[in-house]
Structure 1
Amino acid sequence: MSLPVPTWDTPFGIQLWPIFDSIISKLTNQYFIPSKFQFIIGKTPLSTFQPVALAITTYYIIIFGGNYIFKKFQIKPFILNGLFQIHNIILTTISLTLLILMIEQLIPMIYYNGLFYAICSTNAWTQPLVCLYYLNYLTKFIEFIDTVFLVVKQKKLTFLHTYHHGATALLCYTQLIGDTSISWVPISLNLGVHVIMYWYYFLAARGIRVWWKEWVTRFQIIQFILDLGFVYFATYQKLVFEFLNSYINKPLPFCGDCAGNLYSAYYGCAILSSYLVLFIGFYIDVYRRKSSKKSKIVKSVKGGVAAQVNEYVYVTGREATPILEEQEPKKQVRSRKA
């Protein structure tokens, strides 16, 4: 029996989209059929601004209100380590699944039509990709639970963490209603980072130390640099095509019009730019300032035996958390090498 051979049309050797379509249709009892999904403003859940704004507002009320209540009444922090592990492994699996399905759609599109077509053509706004964009959009609301864990475990809430979650949900919404074909660039890069990021959190919750934790933040920064390169390019094409060349004597060079509306482009440029600045600041604060407590792996000595403590840094703002506080008192911290 020969193994499936990858081709430009089937990058993984077999067509994964029909399999995904069949599985999800059966799991939802035909309520959600990926191959028949259509994003219709006003009909699709979370397709209008009001419910999106309500969901994001509720998120902030819960986390800041909950944080205030815990501190006001001096409620003992919850551990919830088992639930935290489940949460992270679920998000890792979802991210990997969506990423693989997007790669399957994008490789033949780029191979046959070119990169500019894939990021700017209205024909690149395909039904399977829109379905995957929407499913990724829904995960942004699931990721709100990240902050709930911080609140009940009484970890510090930073601006980067709380801002990042709310802004990303709104960013995904603006790109969906704006029909921006370039959406696959930031989404696919973000999914790739999330596969690594949530896997790291899962390992950290298990008490497993890894050498590559600093690369989680580095990948975030690299992601936003690539995002902005593509998004600024596409926004420039749109501006030149629609406005600039109409008001100047010597036309500016450009490749052609880019799909999507300008409001979505402006929001994408602003949010992704702010992410890059904030994550670079976070990286410097945590990993490059030697005086910062967050940049050190703490070692505690108890009963004459050194107990290694993991620097549990969440890339969007978690503080260093000793693994010994998260696990059973006698559980040893394991180390994983490359």
Structure 2
Amino acid sequence: MVTSMNFSRGLKAELVQPYNFEMSQDLRPFLEEYWVSSFLIVVIYLLLIILGQNYMRARKGFSLQGPLILWSFCLAIFSILGAVRVWTYMVTVLFTQGFKQTVCFTNYISDSIVKFWSCLFVLSKVVELGDTAFIILRKRPLIFVHWYHHSTVLLYTSFGFKNRVPSGGWFMTMNLGVHSIMYTYYTLKAAKVKHPSFLPMVITSLQILQMVMGTIFGILNYIWRQEKGCYTTREHFFWSFMLYGTYFLLFARFFHQAYLRPKSKAKPKSQ
């Protein structure tokens, strides 16, 4: 038994040792203190959407192919690097500590890898609002699920980060995984590089699966809320369930309209 436990700890230490850059200054105190600023950012974001659409109404859309390729490529690289690190960490915790510990993620909140990538993850939700600027400036259709999702994900990510919602580990892990594929697809599409025709459907399917799994993890959090590291509240559970529920309905509707109902091809929605 002791040998097995030592092996588990040794395996975890060997696989998830932090790099030097992951041990840089912790931004958590700053992000926790100013998390309410996310509401102001969302308000500004929505106002800029209205102003931007009004500005472009009488103008021809810009091409922006070069900037879009660079933008998507940078987000793809960030998402891939983040996904590799947090997936490695989560899988290691899964095999060394058990499934419940991956759901009750607050036990690992002080780990250097978790602190580094969770801070970048929160900040990336602000950066990703730039996706909308490309849609507006290129005069592409701006659908409800796009701006609703960007707005609420930013708010919920800031809320979950401050309150250390236990399932935040899986939320970050799944989101980075989907985004690594999605932004790679966006890069190829912007560069007009041939890619598998089924890729957009795969991305949307993964987004829907993420909503289902997120709901399940939220429910498990609530069931295990008295467990060490799994403390959660009804408020956490309510907002998690509400958001994942609306995301599931919106993405399922988008999937039906884009891939099941005969019509012109639609782009996969960013998650």
Which category of TM-score, normalised to the shorter sequence, fits these structures? 0.7 to 0.9
Deviations 1:217-256 (A, max 9, x none): 1111111111111112212333xx5xxxxxxxxxxxxx77
The residue type paired with residue 18 of structure 1 is Y
Could you say what secondary structure the match of 2:59 adopts?
coil
The residue type paired with residue 213 of structure 2 is L
- Cα distance in 2, alignment partners of residues 38 and 223 from structure 1: 27
Give the structure 2 partner of residue 126 of structure 1. Answer: 110
- Equivalent positions of 1:58-69 (< 5 A) are 58-69=44-55
Greater mean deviation of Cα atoms: 74-83 or 205-214:
205-214
Deviation at 1:8, TM superposition (A): 4.5
| Residue 20 of structure 1 pairs with residue 21 of structure 2 | yes
Structure 1 segments unaligned to the other structure (5+ residues)? 1-5, 22-32, 242-254, 296-312, 318-338
Deviation at 1:48, TM superposition (A): 3.0
Give the structure 2 partner of residue 88 of structure 1. Answer: 72
- Cα distance in 2, alignment partners of residues 79 and 46 from structure 1: 39
Judging changes above 3 Å, is the alpha-carbon distance between structure 1 residues 287 and 265 closer, same or farther for their aligned structure 2 residues?
same
- Equivalent positions of 1:278-317 (< 5 A) are 278-290=250-262, 292-294=263-265, 313-316=267-270
Deviation at 1:20, TM superposition (A): 3.5
- Equivalent positions of 1:217-256 (< 5 A) are 217-238=204-225, 241=226
Give the structure 2 partner of residue 105 of structure 1. Answer: 89
- Cα distance in 2, alignment partners of residues 135 and 286 from structure 1: 32
Judging changes above 3 Å, is the alpha-carbon distance between structure 1 residues 262 and 131 closer, same or farther for their aligned structure 2 residues?
farther
Greater mean deviation of Cα atoms: 275-284 or 203-212:
203-212
TM-score for both structures, normalised by structure 1: 0.71
The residue type paired with residue 225 of structure 1 is V
- Cα distance in 2, alignment partners of residues 127 and 177 from structure 1: 16
CA contact 2:211–2:248 (8 Å) conserved in 1: yes
CA contact 2:79–2:176 (8 Å) conserved in 1: yes
- Cα distance in 2, alignment partners of residues 121 and 45 from structure 1: 19
| Residue 163 of structure 1 pairs with residue 135 of structure 2 | no
The residue type paired with residue 237 of structure 1 is W
Give the structure 1 partner of residue 26 of structure 2. Answer: 37
Judging changes above 3 Å, is the alpha-carbon distance between structure 1 residues 150 and 52 closer, same or farther for their aligned structure 2 residues?
same
CA contact 1:182–1:231 (8 Å) conserved in 2: yes
TM-score for both structures, normalised by structure 2: 0.87
Could you say what secondary structure the match of 2:194 adopts?
strand
Deviations 1:23-49 (A, max 9, x none): xxxxxxxxxx53x41522xxx047435
CA contact 1:237–1:257 (8 Å) conserved in 2: no
CA contact 1:237–1:258 (8 Å) conserved in 2: yes
The residue type paired with residue 64 of structure 2 is L
Deviation at 1:208, TM superposition (A): 1.9
Deviation at 1:101, TM superposition (A): 1.9
Instruction: Identify, as 1 or 2, the structure richer in helix.
Output: 2
Instruction: Identify, as 1 or 2, the structure richer in strand.
Output: 1
- Cα distance in 2, alignment partners of residues 121 and 191 from structure 1: 17
Give the structure 1 partner of residue 37 of structure 2. Answer: 51
Deviation at 1:75, TM superposition (A): 1.2
Give the structure 1 partner of residue 130 of structure 2. Answer: 145
Could you say what secondary structure the match of 1:208 adopts?
coil
Q: Number of residues paired by the alignment? A: 259
Deviation at 1:130, TM superposition (A): 2.9
Structure 2 segments unaligned to the other structure (5+ residues)? 1-9
